[in-house]
Amino acid sequence: MKKGFAKLIGVLALASAVVGCSTNPVTGKSQLNFISPAQEVALGEKQYGPSQQSQGGAYEVDPALSRYVNSVGQKLAQLSDRPNLPYEFVVLNNDVPNAWALPGGKIAFNRGLLIHLEDEAQLAAVLGHEIVHAAASHSAQQMSQRQLLGVGGQLAAVAATQSRYGGLIQQGIGLGSAAFHASYGRGQELEADAYGMEYMVAAGYDPQGAVELQETFVKLSEGRQSNWLNNLFASHPPSQERVAANRARAKQMPPGVRNQKAFDRAMAQLRKDAPAYKLHQEALAAANKKQMDKALSLTEQAIRKQPKEALFWDTKGKLLLNQKRGEPALKAFTRAIEINPNYFGPYVGRGIVHKNMGDDQRARIDFETSLSMLPTQYATFHLGELELKQGNSRKAYEYYQFAAASGGELGKRAQQRMHQIYPQQPAQQRRR
């Protein structure tokens, strides 16, 4: 026990040794930060793709909208305190009214937030806020303040090296850490509000857009009824304090442009499709209540309104799969992939259909394709099943190991399979 404690102290000392103070590039104040600028950029680059995948993937129905958001973001970024970061801005196919920033300037803007905005000034207010989170190294500060999480990740990394799929496990840890650190403190939110307004005003936008934005968030928070809204406001807590602070600040700033017409042109397709997305939300709500026929009907209505939305076809495939209707589910998933081949979800669903039909080769291709975009419990569990069927016990065990780590009912099944393969779980087998 003393040896174990000594090792723990050693790890803690190692973590503490790399902790240092740096100057916040936005505020000029000293702050705790042991993540270097190069590490920030590398972390953002590594997590940007998987983070997008885990939150709906890129919005593809109207790519021009993403280009428009990126153009506004890049204009603001060049006026920031860290203009040399490799900024990227993407619109995600996600209903939640949210936006987020990873270290190094990797920023995402949900479709569900865009639909609540009225003009380009409000868009600039959101983007300016997120740019400050990146430029001021807020995520790096959060990581530095939670050294124990880093130690936990370090220990998990050591354990993960025992498996040839340790990279998958590590990526899963990284995603969890990224989500954890997306929750900013009150001071950081106020800081992002203040300096974000400076950026938008420097770009010529009306600061009143930032006031209206916070008013919108307060209204959404007051009427929230969904768990996803609770999650949103845990990471971006709105308050009358923020509204008042923005209002007072705006009075000291010059008025600017709103660019209403440009925003309306960019938003035309998304606004036209709003009824289709509403039908899809209703379909998901019906499915959660086990009203599968109603959910399928609503999804098909959404598809008729916007047949180019892969998300709707993916949902149709899942509902048909739930009803054990293999052939039509296969067609739905395939259509989703044809429309958007760059999102992991339909590959997992189609892989399950192929596996159920006994087409193991096509199932394997789909599962592995999905893993190249985002490691998931479903794909790794089913790949474990395919390996076990082929008699590849060691490879099956490694896939099950990842699936088991994700918990839930499928995680329990994976643990059972692991025990069946190696009842005693000998150390030499785990290390191989």
Task: Please report, for the domain that includes residue 384, its CATH number.
Answer: 1.25.40.10
Q: Please name the residues in contact with 371: beta carbons below 8 A apart, sequence gap of 6 or more.
A: 168, 344, 379, 380, 383
For 408-430, give the DSSP string.
Answer: HHHHHHHHHHHHHH-TT--HHHH
Same-domain check for residues 252 and 108: yes
- In order along its 432 residues, the chain shows pLDDT tens digits of 445 544 544 444 444 444 467 788 888 788 777 788 999 999 999 999 999 999 999 999 999 999 999 999 999 999 999 999 999 999 999 999 999 999 999 999 999 999 999 999 999 999 999 999 999 888 877 776 665 444 444 434 433 433 444 434 334 333 433 443 457 888 889 999 999 999 999 999 999 999 999 999 888 888 655 555 555 554 566 678 899 999 999 999 999 999 999 999 999 999 999 999 999 999 999 999 999 999 999 999 999 999 999 999 999 999 999 999 999 999 999 999 999 999 999 999 999 999 999 999 999 999 999 999 999 999 999 999 999 999 999 999 999 999 999 999 999 999 999 999 988 554 444 544
Same-domain check for residues 209 and 347: no
State how far the alpha carbon of 302 is from the alpha carbons of 58, 278, 299, 314, in Å: 19, 8, 5, 12
Note whether residue 169 is domain-resident. no
Note whether residue 168 is domain-resident. no
Quickly tell me which residue has 């060691």 as its tokens: 394
pLDDT value, residue 18: 46
Contact 213, 192 (CB under 8 A): no
Domain that holds residue 284: 272-431
Rounded to 5 degrees, φ, ψ at 256 are -150, -165
pLDDT value, residue 420: 92
Q: 31 forms bridges with which residues in the sheet?
A: 22
Query: Distance (Å, rounded) from C-alpha 256 to C-alpha 200?
Result: 9
Same-domain check for residues 321 and 210: no
Contact 195, 82 (CB under 8 A): no
pLDDT value, residue 221: 81
Quickly tell me which residue has 């040399």 as its tokens: 84
Domain end point (choices 204, 237, 260) = 260
Count H helices and E strands in the chain, helices first.
23, 5
Tell me how many domains the chain contains.
2
Domain end point (choices 260, 290, 315) = 260
pLDDT value, residue 148: 40
pLDDT value, residue 41: 95
Same-domain check for residues 366 and 250: no
Return the C-alpha torsion angle 43, 45, 49, 50, nearest 10. Answer: -10
State how far the alpha carbon of 258 is from the alpha carbons of 64, 124, 209, in Å: 20, 9, 8
Same-domain check for residues 295 and 379: yes
pLDDT value, residue 222: 80
Query: Distance (Å, rounded) from C-alpha 105 to C-alpha 274?
Result: 29
Query: Distance (Å, rounded) from C-alpha 91 to C-alpha 69?
Result: 8
Contact 149, 136 (CB under 8 A): no
pLDDT value, residue 19: 47
pLDDT value, residue 161: 36
State how far the alpha carbon of 356 is from the alpha carbons of 262, 363, 385, in Å: 49, 9, 11
Query: Distance (Å, rounded) from C-alpha 117 to C-alpha 315?
Result: 27
Same-domain check for residues 375 and 353: yes
pLDDT value, residue 223: 66
